[in-house]
Chain A
Amino acid sequence: MTTLTAGAQRVRTVVTVQRSWLLLGVLVLWVLLWAVLRGQDTLALARADLTDFQTWLNDLDDRLRGTWLLDVTGVISDALDGLLTFLRELVSTPAFPRPVPEIGWLGVLSIATWVAYAIAGWKHALLTAASFAAFGLLGYWEESMDLLVVTFTAVAVCLLIGIPLAVWMGRSQRVTSAITPVLDLTQTMPAFVYLLPLTLLFGIGPPAAVVVTVIYALAPVIRIGAHGIRSVSPTVLEAAASMGTNRWQVLRKVQLPMARRTIIVGVNQTVMAALSMATIAALIAAPGLGEEVVVALGSLAVGTAFVAGLAIVVMAVMLDRVTTAASERSEQLARQTTVHPRRRVVLLAGTGALALVGVYLSRYYTYFAEFPDNPDLGTPLGNAVDDASIYIQDNWFNVTKGIADAVSNGLINPLEALIADSPWYLTSAALLMISAVLGGLRSAITTAVCLGVILATGLWQDSMVTLATTLVAIVLVMVLALIFGLIIARNSRADSVIRPILDAAQVMPPFVYLVPALGLFLATRFTAIVAAVIFAAPVAIKLVADGIKNVSPTTVEAAESAGSSRWQVISKVQLPMARTGIGLAANQGLLYVFSMVVIGGLVGAGGLGYLVVSGFSQAQLFGKGLAAGIAIVALAIMLDRMTQHANIRAGQR
C-alpha cells in the first residue's frame, strides 16, 4: 500500500514537472519561430478597412428594419421611455410647464433619507442625506438623479423578473441546470459587449440603457436568491411537509422568510451591478453622471471627470452601505428586537410626515426645487485636481513616464510583439498547446473554437493586442494579489486595515478607475493597464487571502513545530495548499482585467475596446465594432475556460 502511494506520488511529480517543462518548451519554440517568421501573416487590418463579415454586420441594421423583432423591442422601448420620462420629470428634468421637476432637491433628499431610515436605520439615513447633498454640492444634482432613475428602473425590472426566477430556480433542479450556464455566460462577459448588439434592437437612448443594464444586473439576484431558497434547511422543509403545508404555504411561510436575508444580499449585488452598467451605458446615450465622465475622458478633462467620478463613488458607497445594512437589519426588524413595533410605526409616520413637508417645500419654493449654485464644491475641486494633474505631469513626468516605459518596454512590448507579430497560425498553435497543457483536452477544444471565431471576425491582430495587454495586467494583478494576500492572511491587523479598503474598492463602477489612471499617465496603453490592475486587484487579493486563510491551522502548526522558517511555511505549506484559491483569484482577476482593458479603449488602450468605441461614434464602423464585440466574447470565454480547467486540474492533483 505504501509503495503504491509512493509510486503514485512519483508519477504525479513527474507529470507536474513535465507540465512546466512542456510550457517552457512551447514558449521557447514560439520565440524561436517568431524570430524567423515575425511580421508575416499577422492579419493586420487597417482602421478604416472592413472585411466582408464586418460589412455584413454593418448592414444588419437595414436587414432588421421592419421585422417583428423590432416591433417587439419597439413596444418595450416605448414603455420604458414613458416610464423613464415620467420618473425624470418627477426628480431630474423640468416637468412642463414647470421650469423644474415635480419634486425638487429637498423633496427627493427627504424621501430618500426617509426610505434609508425605514430600511437601514438612522445612521444610514444620515449617510443618504449627506450623499444627496454631495451630489448637489459637487454640481451634479440633475445628472445624479438621472443615473439613479436609470439604475432603479433597471433594478425594478431585474427584481420583477429575477425574484420569481430565483424562486423557481431554487425550487427546481431542472430549472437550475437550464439557467445556470446562461448566468455563467452573462457574468463572464465584459459589460462593454452588451452595448452594441443591443443598439441594433433598441437603438440608443435611455430605454436601451435600461435594457442593457437589466441584462447585466439580472444574474446576481437570480443566482443569490436561488441560493437562498435552496439553502433553507431540508429538515425544516420536511417538518413543514409533515404538517401538511402546501406548496404555496411552504414558499410563503418557510422558504421566503428564511431566504429573506440572502435575497436582499442578491438585491444589493444587483443594485451595484446596475449602477456600474448604467454608468457605462452612457456610451449608448444613457443620461446621467456616466455621460459626464465619458465626455470628460474624451476631452482629457481630468478635473471634470474626477468630480463626476467622485459623485459616482459617493452614490456607489451610499447604495452599497444602505442595501447591506438593510440585509443585516431585515432579520432584526422581522424579530422586532431593536424597536417596539408600535413605536416604530409612530417614528416612521412622524419622519414620513417630515419628508412630505420637504416635498411640499420643494414644489413651491425655487430655492428648494433647484439645487443652489452656491456653495459650489465641484468647480474648485475640479480645478484643484486639474492643477494636481498638471503638476504631476510637469514635475513627476520622469517618474510616471519611467514607470510607464519600464512596463511598456519590459512587459507590454515584448509580449505584444510575440503574440501579435507572430503569424496567426503560430500564435494559434502556441495558444492551443498552452491551453492543452494547462487545462487538458476540453480546454484546448474551447480555445480552438474561440480562436476560430476570432479569425472569422477578421480582427485577429487587434484581438491579439488586447490579449497581450490583458496578460500584462493579470501578471501585475497576481503579483499584487500574492503579496497583499499573504500579508492579509498572516497578519490580522493588516487584515482589519486593508480589507475595508478592498471592499470599498470593489463597490466602485469600473469606469471611475479610468480617471486617476488618466490623471497620472494620460491617454496611453499603459493607462488602461493601470486602471485594470486597480480594478482587478481587490478581488484577486481577497481570494488569495481567503485561500491562504483556509489552509488548516493544524497543518501550519505542524509545519512550525517541525521547525520550518516563516518562508518555508509560506512556500511549502500555505501557498501550495491555497492553490485552488490562487487559481480562482487568477480566473476572476483575469475576467476583471479583461473587462477593464476593453473599457480602456476609451483612454487609448487600442485593440478591440477602441473598435467598439469607434462603432458607437462612426456609422460605417458599426459592423466592425460589432465584430470586435464578438471577438471580445470569444477571448473572454477562452481565457475563462482555460483558467477554470487549469484550476480544476490543479485541484485534482
Chain B
Amino acid sequence: MSTTAEHEASPRLSDGESVPDAALSVRGLWKVFGPKGDEIVGSPEADLPRPELLARTGCTVAVKDVSFDVAPSEVFVVMGLSGSGKSTLVRCLTRLIEPSAGDVLLDGEDVRKMSESRLRELRRTHVSMVFQHFGLLPHRQVIDNVAYGLEIRGVSKKERHAKAQEMVDLVGLTGNEHSYPDQLSGGMQQRVGLARALAVDPTVMLFDEPFSALDPLIRRGMQNEVIRLHEEVGKTMVFITHDLQEALKLGDRILIMRDGAVVQIGSPAEVVARPADDYVRDFVSDVHRSAVLTLRYVMREPLPDDSSEGPIMSPDTIVRQAARVALASAHPLRVVYDDILIGIVDNDALLRVVVAEES
C-alpha cells in the first residue's frame, strides 16, 4: 500500500493548501439555493438530508464544501448522477451561478473577488464552456457562431473569420461554415460548440455533459474527438458527465459527487480498484475492470523467492494490455518503476480481473 501511494500519477491533495502551479484550484466551495441560503453554509443544518433541509428551511445544498485542484493540461472529470450538483459546480467556477462560499482560483487569481468587468474579461479570454444542449445561436451561420466569442471581444471581422475557419477545420466541419445550426445533426452542432469554445484560445475549457444529448455511437466518436483535440491543443479541461464509461475514458482524474459533496477523487484505476465507499463501489461494479485497472492495483509485494525472469512492465500498464504478455510467459510479471522492482503480478491476479467481468 505505502509503496503504491508514493507513485500515484497525481499528487493527493489535502484541504486548505493549493498546489502552487494548479491551473484551477477550488477550496471549500458551497452553493445553497433558497432563501438565506448563505446562512446554511457550514451550519449543522447543512448535514441534514436534502428533503428534510428543504422542508425546514426551503433551501437545497447543491454544492457542499468541494475542494480540488486541476493541473495544467489535465482532463479532470466530475461525475455524478442527476441532482448531484455537478452542473452547479461547473457553473460556480466562472460564476454563471454565484457560489455561496469558498474560493475559486484560476491561475492563482480569485474568481470570486473579480469585478463584473474583470469576470467578463476572464470569460472572454480565459475560460470557455461547452454545453449539453449546445447553446448555439440559431440565427447565425456556423462560422459566425464560432466567431462569436471573438466578435464580442471586438476582433475585426476578417481576423475572427480566419480564426473561426481554422477552428471549423480543426473540429472537422470544413464545408459547413455557412450552414445554420438547425441544418446540422446533433453531433455536428456539438462540434460547432467545441469550435466556438476553442476559438477564443482559452486556457481552461469547461464541458457540461456535452455528449449526453447525443446518440451512443456519435457520443463515442465525440469522445475520441475530445481526446484527439486534447492531444493537439493540450488545454486544461473540466468535464462534467453522468456516464461512468465516459469519465473513465476521458479523465486523468475523476471526482465523484453525491448530494453536492465529494465522495472520491482519484485516477480511473484508483476509483475502480479502491472505491471510497459502497456508493462508488456500486457505481463501478459494471465496469470492464481489465480495461481500466493498471498493474499497480493488482500487483503484490515482491518476495525474495520470486522469479526474476518474468517480463518487465510499468505500474501504469492497463491489465488488458499486460494479460497477453503475462500469460505467454512462464514467469510472473515484474512491475518496475524508476528501475526499482515494486511488485509482482501473478497470472491468478490477472485472471481474477479478466474473468470477474465474464461472470
Interface, chain A (partner B; CB < 8 A): 233, 235-236, 238-246, 249, 253-254, 257-258, 260, 331, 334-335
A331 to B183, CA, bound (A): 14
Cβ of A233: which chain B residues have Cβ within 8 Å of it?
133, 135
With both beta carbons as reference points, the residue of chain A lying nearest to B119 in the complex is identified as A244
Chain A CB within 8 A of B190 CB: no
For B135, the chain A residues whose CB sits under 8 A away are: 233, 235-236, 238-240
The answer on a CB contact under 8 Å between B121 and A254 is: no
Decide if A235 touches B120 in the complex (CB within 8 Å).
no
Interchain CB contact under 8 A, B152 and A253 = yes
B355 CB, min distance to chain A CBs, angstroms: 45
Q: Contact check: which of A235, A243, A254, A334 meets B128 at CB < 8 Å? A: A243
In the complex, 6 of the A-B residue pairs with CB atoms within 8 angstroms, ordered by the A residue number, are A236-B135, A239-B136, A243-B149, A244-B122, A244-B125, A335-B180
B residues sitting closer than 8 Å to A (CB atoms) are 91, 94, 96, 119-125, 127-129, 131-140, 148-149, 151-153, 180, 193, 196, 200, 206
Known contacts A257-B139, A334-B139: A243-B134 contact under CB 8 Å: no
Nearest-neighbour CB distance to chain B for A233, whole angstroms, equals 7
- Cβ 8 A contact of B96, one of A236, A241, A258: A241
- Whether B137 contacts A242 by the Cβ 8 Å rule is no
Cα distance A239–B138 in the bound complex, in angstroms: 13
Q: Which of A241, A246, A257, A260 is B137 in contact with, Cβ under 8 Å?
A: A257
Residue from B94, B119, B134, B140 within 8 A of A235 (CB atoms): B134
Nearest chain A CB to B150 CB, angstrom units = 10
Query: Assuming the A-B contacts A235-B131, A238-B96, are A254 and B137 also in contact, with contact meaning beta carbons closer than 8 angstroms in the complex?
Result: yes
Q: How far is the CA of A242 from the CA of B196 in the complex (A)?
A: 12
Chain B residue numbers with a CB within 8 Å of A235 are 131-135
**Residues on A with beta carbons closer than 8 Å to the beta carbon of B153:** 244
Measured CB to CB, the nearest residue on chain B to A334 is B139
Considering the chains assembled together, what is the distance between the CA atoms of A233 and B167 in angstroms? 25
The reply to whether B148 and A242 form a contact with Cβ atoms under 8 Å apart is no
When distances are taken between beta carbons in the complex, the residues of chain B under 8 Å from A243 are: 123-124, 128-129, 148-149, 152, 196, 200
Whether the pair B129, A239 counts as a contact (CB closer than 8 A) is: yes
Q: Tell me the complex Cα distance, A257–B123, Å.
A: 23
Residue of A whose beta carbon sits closest to that of B133:
A235
Whole-angstrom CA separation of A243 from B94 in the bound complex: 10
Interface centre among B129, B133, B137, by most chain A C-beta atoms within 10 angstroms, is: B137
Chain A residue with Cβ nearest B139: A257
Chain A's closest residue to B132 (CB) is: A235
Contact A246 B136 (CB under 8 A): no
Return chain B residues, CB-CB under 8 Å to A331.
Answer: 139
Chain B residues with CB below 8 A from A242, complex form: 94, 96, 123, 127-129, 131, 206
The verdict on A249 contacting B131 (CB below 8 Å), with A243-B200, A244-B123 known, is no
User: A249's closest neighbor in chain B, by CB?
Assistant: B152
Name the CB-closest residue of A to B144. A253
Closest to A243 in B: B149
Q: A257 to B137, alpha carbons, bound, how many Å? A: 9
Residues on B with beta carbons closer than 8 Å to the beta carbon of A244:
119-125, 149, 152-153
Q: A243-B124, A245-B152 are in contact. Are A238 and B139 (CB under 8 A)?
A: no
A-chain residues with CB within 8 Å of residue B140 when the two chains form the complex: 257
Q: Across chains A and B, which 8 residue pairs bring their CB atoms closest together, nearest first? A: A239-B135, A244-B123, A244-B124, A242-B129, A244-B120, A235-B135, A257-B139, A235-B133
Residues of B within 8 A of A334 (CB): 139
A residues near B131, Cβ cutoff 8 Å: 235, 238-239, 242
| Closest chain B residue, CB of each to CB of A246 | B120
The residues of B that contact A239 with a CB separation of less than 8 Å are 129, 131, 134-136, 193
- Bound-state CA distance A257–B135 (Å) is 15
CA distance A243 to B133 in the complex (A): 16
The interface residues of chain A lying within 8 Å CB-to-CB of B127 are 242
A-chain residues with CB within 8 Å of residue B128 when the two chains form the complex:
242-243
CA distance A335 to B183 in the complex (A): 12
A335 to B137 CA separation, bound complex (whole angstroms): 13
With A239-B129, A244-B124 as known contacts, state yes or no: A258 contacts B152, CB within 8 Å. no
Residues of chain B within 8 A (CB-CB) of A245 are: 152
For residue A241, which residue of chain B has the nearest CB? B96
Instruction: Determine the residue in chain B with the shortest Cβ distance to A258.
Output: B139
Contacts of A249 on B, CB cut-off 8 Å?
152
Q: Which of A240, A246, A258 is close to B138, meaning CB atoms less than 8 Å apart?
A: A258
9 more CB-based (< 8 A) A-B contacts, given A242-B94, A257-B140: A235-B131, A235-B132, A235-B133, A236-B136, A239-B135, A243-B196, A246-B152, A253-B152, A254-B137
For A258, list chain B residues within 8 Å (CB). 137-139
Cβ distance A246 to chain B, nearest Cβ, rounded Å: 6
Residue among A233, A243, A246, A253 with the most chain B CB within 10 A? A243
Contacts of B152 in A (CB 8 A): 243-246, 249, 253
Residues of B within 8 A of A335 (CB): 139, 180
B206: nearest residue on chain A (CB-CB)?
A: A242
In the assembled complex, how far is the CB of residue B105 from the closest CB belonging to chain A, in whole angstroms? Answer: 19
Q: Which residues of B contact A246 (CB under 8 A)?
A: 120, 152
Bound-state Cα–Cα, A186 to B134, Å: 40
In the complex, A258→B145 CA distance in Å?
14
Chain A residues whose C-beta falls within 8 Å of the C-beta of B206 in the assembled complex: 242
- Collect the chain B residues with CB atoms within 8 Å of residue A254's CB: 137
**Chain A residues with Cβ under 8 A from B148's Cβ?**
240, 243, 253
Closest-by-CB residue of A relative to B134 is A235
How long is the Cα–Cα vector from A522 to B140 in the complex, in angstroms? Answer: 58
Complex-state Cα separation, A241 to B148, whole angstroms: 12
Which of A238, A242, A246 has the most CB atoms of chain B within a 10 A radius of its CB?
A242
A241 to B123, CA, bound (A): 8
Nearest chain-A residue to B94 (Cβ)?
A242
Cβ contacts under 8 Å, B196 to chain A: 243
A257 to B180, CA, bound (A): 14
**Chain B residues positioned under 8 Å from A260 (CB to CB):** 139
Shortest B195–chain A CB gap in Å is 13
Per the bound structure, the CA–CA distance linking A331 and B121 in Å amounts to 32
Q: How far is the CA of A79 from the CA of B177 in the complex (A)?
A: 51
B124 cross-chain contacts in A, Cβ below 8 A: 243-244
**B123 — which chain A residues lie within 8 A by C-beta?**
241-244
CB distance from B157 to the nearest CB of A (A): 14
Instruction: Give Cα A285 to B206, complex, Å.
Output: 64
Which residue of the partner chain B has the closest CB to A237? B135
Report the bound CA distance from A240 to B119 in whole Å.
Answer: 14
Q: Looking across the interface, which residue of chain A has its beta carbon closest to that of B127?
A: A242
CA distance A242 to B140 in the complex (A): 18
Report the separation of the CA atoms of residues A254 and B96 in the bound assembly, to the nearest whole angstrom: 17
Give A114 Cβ to nearest chain B Cβ, in Å.
26
- Closest chain B residue to A239, Cβ basis: B135
| B137 with A236: CB separation less than 8 A | yes
Q: Complex formed: what's the CA distance from A236 to B181 in Å?
A: 12
**Cα distance, A98 to B74, chains bound together (Å):** 81
Least Cβ–Cβ distance between A330 and chain B, in angstroms: 10
Bound together, the chains give a CA A235 to CA B212 distance in angstroms of 15
B180 surroundings in chain A (CB, below 8 A): 335
The residues of A that contact B137 with a CB separation of less than 8 Å are 236, 240, 253-254, 257-258
Shortest CB distance A338–B (Å): 14
Smallest distance from the beta carbon of B128 to chain A beta carbons, Å? 7
Closest Cβ neighbor of B145 among chain A residues:
A239
| Bound-complex Cα distance A188 to B91 (A) | 43
Q: Which residue of B lies closest to A236 (CB)?
A: B135
Q: Considering the complex, give the chain A residue whose CB is closest to the CB of B123.
A: A244
Q: State how many angstroms separate the Cβ of A90 from the closest Cβ of chain B.
A: 36
The complex places the Cα of A233 from the Cα of B94 at a distance, in Å, of: 20
Query: In whole angstroms, what is the CA distance A329 to B232 when docked?
Result: 43
Minimum CB distance partner of B121 in chain A: A244
Closest chain-A Cβ to B198's Cβ sits at a distance in Å of 12
Shortest beta-carbon distance, A241 to chain B, in Å?
Answer: 6
Query: With A and B bound together, what is the CA distance between A334 and B123 in angstroms?
Result: 29
Minimum C-beta distance from A257 to chain B (A): 4
Instruction: Give the shortest distance, in Å, between B87 (CB) and chain A (any CB).
Output: 11
State in angstroms the CA–CA spacing of A470 and B91 once bound together: 56
**Complex: chain B residue closest to A242, CB-CB:** B129
C-alpha gap A22/B140 in the complex (Å): 60
For residue B216, give the distance in angstroms from its CB to the closest CB of chain A: 22
